[in-house]
Amino acid sequence: MADPYYITTAIHYPNGKPHIGHAYETIAADVIARFQRASGREVRFQTGTDEHGLKMAQKARELGVSPRDLCDEMSAHFRNLFDLLEIEYDNFIRTTEDRHHAATQALWKAMEANGDLYLDRYEGWYSIRDEAYYDESELTEGEGGEKLSPQGTPVEWTVEESWFFRLSKYAEPLLALYRDNPEFIQPDSRRNEVMRFVEGGLRDLSVSRTSFDWGVKVPGADDHVMYVWVDALTNYLTGLGYPDKTDDFAKFWPADLHLIGKDIVRFHAVYWPAFLMSAGLPVPRQVFGHGFLLNRGQKESKSLGNVTDPVGLVEQFGVDPLRYFLMREIAFGQDGSYSPDAIVTRSNAELANSFGNLAQRTLSMIFKNLDGELTAGLPEDAADAELMSAVADAVSGLRAGFAKLAFSEGLEAWMRGVFACNAYVDEMAPWALRKSDPERMKAVLNVLFRCVRDLAIAVRPVVPGSIDRLLDQMGIAGDTRDYAALGDAGWFAALIASGFKVDKPTGVFPRLEMPETEGAA
Ligand code: ME8
């Protein structure tokens, strides 16, 4: 039986169209999901939209539409973007669905049954944008003397009757969780931040609102809706059929990985495990807070006029150059910068010129010089063995990097394999061997074919569409494109026995044009 693996992204606020940060997080999760599937795990990958809360209600009012209509319209934009980015999710959840209301109310009741919910009055500094209360001590001052949250968003003094969750009771159990499971929060810098925060003591958390009604109703107290984060976090359970004791729940909970941005680590690493402990449920195995994507080093904002539509980037450059760039350019976990020229530079250098050219040259020489025919069992010399071992190292380097979410490191290892192949082509000069030693040329091209196939399979989670177009041309069957196939000693002989011949190849990684406006910007 395949080992199950459950990965989730944050669920995104559909109060506007998706931005590049949403694309980044979801692409990274998709790469992990595909990598785990390729490694033989049975994967469940969930994403979705977070549709309740004051922020959504206010945005709808501002636009003169109902919150439901706003959610329907915007949630569809997220799905369309994810289709365009070739995200292979298994479940797209919307928190306005009935199944989610039922799951959230069930979790609430479980926490209540454990004595962790009580009614009181709340006063404090509330940021609508962050949907969070802050302590006076956490606030900063804006340019006009106004009070701002640690995220730089405006806060308002708010007083309301509220249900409270006994978060204070969970400080010790949480610290024990972090201590016993250093992998629970990653990277380490975020883990340290969270530990300092919890060591400072936890106050009970206000978990209901009476000032608006766009949310999940508190069971037995219809004038209260749940704090949007209680409802949002529960999505990870909803997708598995909670509260029903489903097979999916038994198989996939606890989640292996909640992939989220650094700004919402506190919600996932403090509140969420406390809610779960209260409800008597196991906590997730890991919360990973990735960094933020900056546009040429700057945060995107409407006022700066630098908001990039990820759909436009895909239309301009294609989906795989964007996917590759994001995974390769940024050390995962840290902030990173992107720009159209950086996407073009990276994609041209590594996908088009290095790997694409290697694949295209190899297939085209086999087509032209060997009538497309492959041959197994040819004599191999030391240079061939050395190349194959460099490629095997590259493949295992990629796998080791990806297993710890170090995508850039993994792809760097992969590139070393590509470079080794290109150096081998230059050194062997098969075009010259054609006249001087045709048998040796044949051996060289067959070695290259095998190396290209292994490198292609290894990198497939990152650029799946292009790699599938390449593997189609190489006769590699759809069900032999995962990592188990890499260890198959007989694949090459089997391919030849099937009568496969290389046809005139078509390049799969086109060279991109540098955007014209780039110099001026
Ligand atoms: O926070 N770069 O939703 P959201 C990288 N609904 N990642 C970014 C980013 C950027 N510039 N901007 C945002 C929410 N993100 C809640 C989550 S989960 C139970 C509820 C990331 O639409 C952000 O860190 O504001 C988060 O992980 C995700 O995008 C959705 O952000």
Query: What pLDDT digit, counting tens, does each position of 314-346 carry?
Result: 999 999 999 999 999 999 999 999 999 999 999
Whether 520 has a pLDDT exceeding 60, the answer reads no
Q: What average pLDDT does the chain have?
A: 95
What confidence tier does 98 reach under pLDDT thresholds 50, 70, 90?
Answer: very high
Q: How far apart are CA 494 and CA 492, in angstroms?
A: 5
User: What's domain 339-497's architecture?
Assistant: Orthogonal Bundle (1.10)
Residue with tokens 């883990």: 191
Q: How far apart are CA 506 and CA 484, in angstroms?
A: 27
Whether 313 has a pLDDT exceeding 50, the answer reads yes
DSSP-assigned beta bridge partners for residue 141: 147
Which pLDDT belongs to residue 519?
A: 43
What confidence tier does 517 reach under pLDDT thresholds 50, 70, 90?
Answer: low
Which pLDDT belongs to residue 298?
A: 84
Contact 319, 23 (CB under 8 A): no
Q: pTM (2 decimals)?
A: 0.94
Whether 200 has a pLDDT exceeding 50, the answer reads yes
- Mean of the pLDDT values across residues 419-444? 97
As to burial, measured by CB atoms within 10 angstroms (0-12 exposed, 13-18 middle, 19+ buried), residue 135 is exposed
- Over residues 268-309, the pLDDT tens digits come to 999 999 999 999 999 999 999 999 999 988 888 777 778 889
Q: How far apart are CA 322 and CA 313, in angstroms?
A: 8
- Give the gyration radius of the chain's Cα atoms: 26
- Over residues 364-398, the pLDDT tens digits come to 999 999 999 999 999 999 999 999 999 999 999 99
Q: How far apart are CA 212 and CA 216, in angstroms?
A: 11
Higher-confidence residue: 500 or 520? 500
Peptide bond into 14 cis (omega under 30): no
What confidence tier does 518 reach under pLDDT thresholds 50, 70, 90?
Answer: very low
Give the mutation target among 12, 46, 238, 290 for probing the ligand 1 site: most ligand atoms within 8 A of CB.
12
Q: How far apart are CA 183 and CA 189, in angstroms?
A: 12
Q: How far apart are CA 286 and CA 342, in angstroms?
A: 31
Contact 175, 196 (CB under 8 A): no
Using CA positions, which residue lies closest to atom 12 of ligand 1? Answer: 21
- Mean of the pLDDT values across residues 385-413? 98
Residue 151 CA to ligand 1 centre (angstroms)? 13
From the alpha carbon of 259, which atom of ligand 1 is closest?
27
What are the pocket residues of ligand 1 if the criterion is a CB atom closer than 6 Å to any ligand atom?
Answer: 10-13, 21-22, 24-25, 50, 232-233, 235, 260-261, 263-264, 292-293
What residues contact 98, with CB distance under 8 A and at least 6 apart?
none
Q: By percentage, how much of the chain surpasses pLDDT 70?
A: 99
Query: Is the sign of the CA dihedral 363, 367, 369, 370 positive or negative?
Result: positive
- Mean of the pLDDT values across residues 421-426? 98
Classify strands 336-338 and 205-206 as parallel, antiparallel or unpaired.
unpaired
Residue 261 CA to ligand 1 centre (angstroms)? 6
Contact 41, 290 (CB under 8 A): no
Using CA positions, which residue lies closest to atom 14 of ligand 1? Answer: 12
Using CA positions, which residue lies closest to atom 30 of ligand 1? Answer: 12
